[in-house]
A and B are shown apart, each in its own frame.
Chain A
């Protein structure tokens, strides 16, 4: 119930294309859903996040779509660029006795071809 399932494991997209990464969760107590971008040798960096009372959030080329009834959310990267090549993690946050804890998806390795 604490898992966050992420797919696909890897993704190859042409420059200018749309990258789509999907995540699903079971625990309805999760209250916040961030996405992280990680480059090799770096720590994960917060990319964009959404709360469950919102169905979509857009920041630049990055959009989160959230389907509360299906317990699914996805990251869309529009006009994908070679610089977007990285590993992306979805996450879900719960509040455990006043402490925020995150469960991370298994990651998607994105490669954008020039």
Chain B
């Protein structure tokens, strides 16, 4: 298993602003993953973050909107930029442990 801590757990933000979500893992991992879960929906992969290189974004997600940092092997941040109400979702950090993907508790973002 893995212990994954996310901050903040929830936030309410004004449209047009940005929010940075932090993810801390209890041990070193090569890759960290960021997912979005829209209300009542499934999980969609936003990007894969490798330490020391640019994140790899999935179709429909761009770096300008969701910049990601990966300064070391246990930490990553996801920024949701220039937010609109459509960005209201749960954002989840994840790591792979061989027997499956493990998730943080998520950051519930509401944009007003």
- Interface residues, chain A, with chain B CB atoms under 8 Å away: 32, 34, 41-46, 49, 89, 91, 93, 99-102, 104-107
From A41, A42, A99, A107, give the contact of B48 (CB < 8 A): A99
Main secondary structure of the interface of A (DSSP, over half): strand
Query: Is B101 part of the binding interface, using a Cβ–Cβ cutoff of 8 Å?
Result: yes
* Interface residue? B81 (CB, 8 A): no
Interface flags, B18-49, vs A, CB<8A=1, else 0: 00000000000001000000000111110010
Contact between chains at B100 and A49 (CB < 8 Å): yes
Tell me which of B31, B45, B101, B103 has the highest count of chain A C-beta atoms within 10 A of its own C-beta.
B101
Pair B99/A89 contact, Cβ less than 8 Å: no
Residue tally, chain B, CB below 8 Å to A: 21
Cβ contact within 8 Å between A42 and B106: yes
In the bound assembly, the distance between CA atoms of A100 and B4 in angstroms comes to 18
- State whether the Cβ of B78 lies closer than 8 Å to any Cβ in chain A: no
Can you report 11 residue pairs joining A to B where beta carbons are below 8 Å apart? Answer: A41-B105, A42-B105, A43-B4, A46-B102, A49-B99, A99-B48, A101-B48, A102-B43, A102-B101, A105-B42, A107-B41
Minimum CB–CB distance for B83 against chain A, Å: 21
Contact of A43 among B1, B45, B105 (CB under 8 A): B105
CB pair A100–B106 under 8 Å, yes or no, is no
Specify which chain A residues have a CB less than 8 angstroms from the CB of B108 in the assembled complex: 41
Say yes or no for B87: interface residue by CB 8 A criterion.
Answer: no
The residue of chain A having its C-beta at the shortest distance from the C-beta of B58 within the complex is: A101
Determine the residue in chain A with the shortest Cβ distance to B56.
Answer: A99
Instruction: Please measure, in the bound complex, the distance between the C-alpha atom of A101 and the C-alpha atom of B48, giving whole angstroms.
Output: 9
List the 10 closest pairs (A to B, CB-CB), nearest first: A43-B103, A46-B100, A34-B100, A104-B43, A104-B42, A43-B106, A43-B105, A100-B96, A106-B42, A44-B103
